[in-house]
């Protein structure tokens, strides 16, 4: 890779930890004003291109000349620890690490499970799950309540467990490993161990499903592969791990941040309280505003590509910042204002291009049901302390809150 001289790079490593949920890091706006695509240093010392602009970000993510293959040299590795790349090379990639026809085949094997119609049929069950956890909150009698443990994590965890066919009783096991994986400050050894433990947990679960299939996604994936020929256990484990991890941690963090965002903007919250028909678009704005998954949209160029006034050379890594793109004032006027009636559905909180989030419509459904139900059933809900006291995940690959004490 051609190294840009260090003095031309921003002093701070990217991605920059977020200071608070209500603004992007100041460095992002500065860099975006200077250039929509520029070189940055990653925390582990490697360099990569950083895409700040919305148009350029969408262009990169739709361009097949940028590869998602995490095994390639220079695919952005924020830790700088080569063991992560080695690990990717030893196990079959899940669909997020595939390109072209391979990716298309892997995605098509599961996308039928996530159609708008299939998900709409889940609505009554999701409503029941949300009501159940809110019943528990109200019945407990103690306040304040940590909303993360009471609602944000259990709702998507139980929903995805039922969909996939994973036992919810194991939730502490997979939630703790996921938490270790996404925390950037977790030592590499511990992260690698968490990743191995999740895989071996799912390998065991899939072996049980193979012997005793159920009416669930994991069992149907096994049956589908068997129809097509021999079972590829390792690739089934890769898909299973991806779905379990992506299915609970992301939505959980959006629930917590959405609640904070709504409570801190009472005039906005009043809009959806008085008219739940506004909730779907409100959810889109919350997704844009918080853009919790920032660097999953990393790629590596397979040939020289001109973009945003620069040439990204073949084999150079590139990161599309979902947060920076969603706060690009060229696309979203006054991006720092939370405006639930903005009507902005073209944000890239779920990414863009062929890899756009597989579970996006499940996430939308869960978020709509949670926000409508929570504020209807507990209209007096409020933060138990100042917002500045909430421990936010300033330095995690998925932004959110570790705890969210609420009362009413």
Measured from the CB of residue 57, what is the shortest distance to another protein in angstroms? 12
54 or 352, CB closer to another protein?
352
Using CB under 8 A as the binding rule, whether residue 116 contacts another protein is answered as: yes
Q: Which stretch binds another protein (CB under 8 A): 29-37, 114-122, 141-149, 178-186?
A: 114-122
Q: How far is the CB of 195 from another protein (least distance, A)?
A: 26
User: Beta strands 317-320 and 47-51: pairing type?
Assistant: parallel
Query: CA-to-CA distance for 393 and 179, rounded, in angstroms?
Result: 10
Is there binding between residue 117 and another protein (CB under 8 A)? yes
349, 293 Cβ separation under 8 angstroms: yes
Closest approach, Cβ 354 to another protein, in A, equals 5
- DSSP state for residue 396 in the 8-state scheme: B
Does position 115 interact with another protein (CB under 8 A)? The reply is yes
Q: 78 or 97: whose CB is closer to another protein?
A: 97
Shortest approach of another protein to residue 259 CB, angstroms?
Answer: 23
What is the nearest approach in angstroms of another protein to the Cβ of residue 96? Answer: 13
How far apart CA 311 and CA 313 sit, in angstroms, is 6
Per-residue contact flags (x/-) with another protein for residues 349 to 388, judged by CB under 8 A: -xxxxxxxx--xx--x------------------------
Q: How far apart are CA 397 and CA 94, in angstroms?
A: 18
Q: What is the distance between the alpha carbons of residues 103 and 207, in angstroms, rounded to a whole number?
A: 24
- How many CA atoms lie less than 13 Å away from 104 in the CB half-sphere? 3
Shortest reach from residue 161's CB to another protein, in Å: 22
Backbone dihedral angles phi then psi of residue 302, each to the nearest 5 degrees: -100, -10
Query: DSSP readout, 78-146?
Result: TT--HHHHHHHHHS---GGG--HHHHHHHHHTTGGGG-HHHHHHHHHHHHHHHHHHHHHHHHH--SSEE
Question: CA quadruple 140, 165, 116, 256: dihedral positive or negative?
Answer: positive
Tell me the two tokens of residue 372: 């409508």
CB of 353 to another protein, least distance (A): 6
> Could you say whether residue 105 binds another protein (CB under 8 A)?
no
Closer to another protein by Cβ: residue 75 or 350: 350
C-alpha to C-alpha distance for 334 and 6, rounded to whole angstroms:
33
Shortest Cβ distance from residue 348 to another protein (Å)? Answer: 9
**402 part of the interface to another protein, by CB under 8 A:** no
Instruction: Describe the chain by its helix, strand, coil percentages, rounded to 5.
Output: 55, 10, 35
CB of 106 to another protein, least distance (A): 11
Residues 171-190, one symbol each (x = binds another protein by CB under 8 A, - = not), give: --------------------
Establish if 96 lies at the interface with another protein (CB under 8 A). Answer: no
Separation of alpha carbons 80 and 46, rounded Å: 6
Task: Tell which one of 45, 100, 112, 385 touches another protein (CB under 8 A).
Answer: 112
61 phi and psi angles, rounded to 5 deg: -70, -20
Q: Is 213 exposed, middle or buried (0-12, 13-18, 19+ CB in 10 A)?
A: middle
48-87 residues in contact with another protein (CB under 8 A) are 61-62
Q: How far is the CB of 345 from another protein (least distance, A)?
A: 6
Tokens of 340: 């639930």
**Is residue 121 a contact residue for another protein (CB under 8 A)?**
no
Which string of x and - marks every residue 323-352 that binds another protein (by CB under 8 A)?
A: ----------------------xx---xxx
Q: For another protein, how many residues bind (rule: CB under 8 A)?
A: 25
Token representation of residue 228: 């097509």
Closest to another protein by CB, 40 vs 363, is 363
Q: Given candidates 104, 188, 397, 407, which one binds another protein under the rule CB under 8 A?
A: 104
Q: Which helix (H) or strand (E) element contains residue 405?
A: strand 405-407
Residues that bind another protein (CB under 8 A): 61-62, 104, 107-108, 111-117, 345-346, 350-357, 360-361, 364
């Amino acid at each position: 890779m051609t190294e840009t001289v260090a003095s031309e790079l921003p002093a701070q490593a990217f991605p920059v930890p977020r200071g608070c949920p209500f603004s992007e890091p100041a460095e992002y706006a500065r860099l975006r004003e200077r250039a929509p695509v520029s070189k940055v240093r990653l925390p582990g010392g490697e360099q990569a291109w950083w895409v700040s602009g919305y148009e350029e970000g969408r262009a990169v993510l739709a361009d097949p000349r940028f590869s998602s293959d995490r095994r390639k040299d220079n695919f952005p590795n924020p830790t700088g620890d080569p063991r992560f790349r080695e690990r990717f090379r030893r196990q079959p990639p899940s669909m997020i690490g595939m390109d072209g026809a391979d990716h298309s085949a892997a995605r098509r094997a599961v996308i039928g499970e996530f159609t708008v119609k299939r998900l709409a049929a889940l609505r009554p069950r999701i409503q029941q799950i949300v009501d159940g956890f809110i019943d528990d909150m109200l019945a407990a009698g103690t306040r304040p309540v940590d909303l993360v443990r009471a609602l944000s994590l259990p709702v998507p965890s139980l929903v995805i467990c039922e969909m996939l066919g994973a036992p919810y009783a194991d939730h502490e096991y997979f939630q703790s490993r996921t938490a270790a994986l996404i925390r950037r400050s977790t030592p590499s050894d511990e992260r690698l161990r968490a990743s191995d433990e999740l895989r071996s947990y799912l390998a065991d679960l899939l072996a049980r499903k193979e012997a005793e299939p159920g009416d669930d996604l994991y069992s149907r994936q096994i049956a589908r592969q068997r129809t097509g020929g021999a079972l590829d256990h390792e690739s089934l484990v890769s898909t299973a791990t991806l779905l379990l991890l992506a299915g609970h941690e992301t939505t959980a963090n959006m629930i917590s941040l959405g609640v904070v965002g709504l409570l801190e903007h009472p005039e906005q919250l009043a809009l959806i309280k008085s008219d739940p028909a506004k909730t779907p678009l409100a959810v889109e704005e919350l997704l844009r505003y918080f853009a919790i998954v920032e660097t999953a949209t990393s790629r590596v160029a397979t040939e020289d590509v001109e973009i945003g006034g620069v040439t990204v050379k073949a084999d150079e890594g590139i990161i599309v910042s979902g947060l920076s793109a969603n706060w690009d004032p060229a696309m979203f006027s006054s991006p720092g204002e939370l405006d639930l009636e903005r009507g902005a559905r073209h944000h890239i909180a779920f990414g863009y291009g062929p890899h756009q989030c597989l579970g996006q419509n499940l996430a939308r459904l869960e978020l709509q049901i949670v926000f409508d139900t929570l504020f209807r059933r507990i209209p007096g809900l409020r933060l138990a302390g100042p917002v500045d006291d909430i421990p936010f995940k300033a330095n995690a690959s998925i932004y959110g809150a570790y705890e969210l004490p609420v009362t009413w």
